[in-house]
Amino acid sequence: MGKDIAIIGVGRFGTKLLERFNLFGNVTFLCGRRLAPELMVLGQKYGIQISTNYQEILDQIDLAVIATPANTHYSIVKDCLLNNKHIFVEKPLYTNLAEAKECLDLAKKKNLTLYVDDVFLYRNEYQELKARLSGEIDTIRFIWRKYGSFKESILNNLLYHDLYLLTDLLGKNKIHDFEVINCSSPLEEERIDILEFKFRYGKTAVKCEYNRAYSGESEKEIKLILDSRETITWNNNDIFVGDTKIDLEVSDALDTMLSRFLNDEVNYARNHLLALNSIALLEDISIKIGSKRI
């Protein structure tokens, strides 16, 4: 893995990535679309060179960390691959399955690493949930209630995380018996902020509820009901087996993911499978919902 790193995109997640990669590696460039005040402040804080054109600095780096909006990923990732750069990219890789396959194939052909953010896999709570599985999963319920963020679609922003977890738990499959329960726009007419639906994934019943207009305390929950009727629930930072709370040490999943990535301790084949299947599911769900507002 190369040592000289450029962070491309310095929004909320890009700033987090800058902080972490600066601990584990050598960030030499910070790239934004314009010389915004926040870009200047970050550059001065970390003593990092600033650029408003990532293409001009590619010959000076080994690794591109891409944290721009999803609809920009294809052109940036492809540019970086054609310039023989290793890549870490914020989820989702793309919103188009054909483009995702094209760039993953290009990375493989050029023997370059391309890793897609799947940080929830590294949560201790998720690892504990998987370790507690003892039988087939009959039902999965995903719930995510929070306020914001609104720069990406609700599918890319919230649902994508659960789709790669779903794939990790149950493998590659297709959606059937899809039903929309709620699809509404309480905050902005042309943007969906509440979305609830259910479907079957193979033999497993799945129900998803997302609300990014929620005014209460944020809540992230995954509940598994096994064929034995035992329940395993991951709620915020806690794991419950039935009604019993499991003592669990909480670690920083982002630090774990990035340090393993930089030390080549990640499973790229699994990462690519999860990314591609999640994009395929996103495309299918978007079509089934049938709304351009997503």
Domain harbouring 69, CATH code: 3.40.50.720
**Residue 94: inside a domain, yes or no?**
yes
Final residue before a domain boundary, out of 78, 93, 117? 117
Q: What is the CATH number of the domain that holds 177?
A: 3.30.360.10
**Does 235 share its domain with 192?**
yes
Final residue before a domain boundary, out of 117, 143, 175? 117
**Does 45 share its domain with 98?**
yes
- pTM here? 0.94
Query: In the predicted model, what is the mean pLDDT of residues 232-246?
Result: 96
Q: For 172-199, how does the pLDDT look when each residue is reduced to its tens digit (9 = 90+)?
A: 999 999 999 999 999 998 899 999 999 9
Q: For 119-130, how does the pLDDT look when each residue is reduced to its tens digit (9 = 90+)?
A: 999 999 999 999
**Residue 263: inside a domain, yes or no?**
no
**Does 142 share its domain with 249?**
yes
**Does 49 share its domain with 152?**
no
**Residue 275: inside a domain, yes or no?**
no
Residue 220: give the domain boundaries. 120-255+281-289
Q: What's the rounded Cα separation, in Å, for the pair 8 and 33?
A: 9
Q: In this model, does residue 2 exceed pLDDT 80? A: no
**Does 97 share its domain with 128?**
no
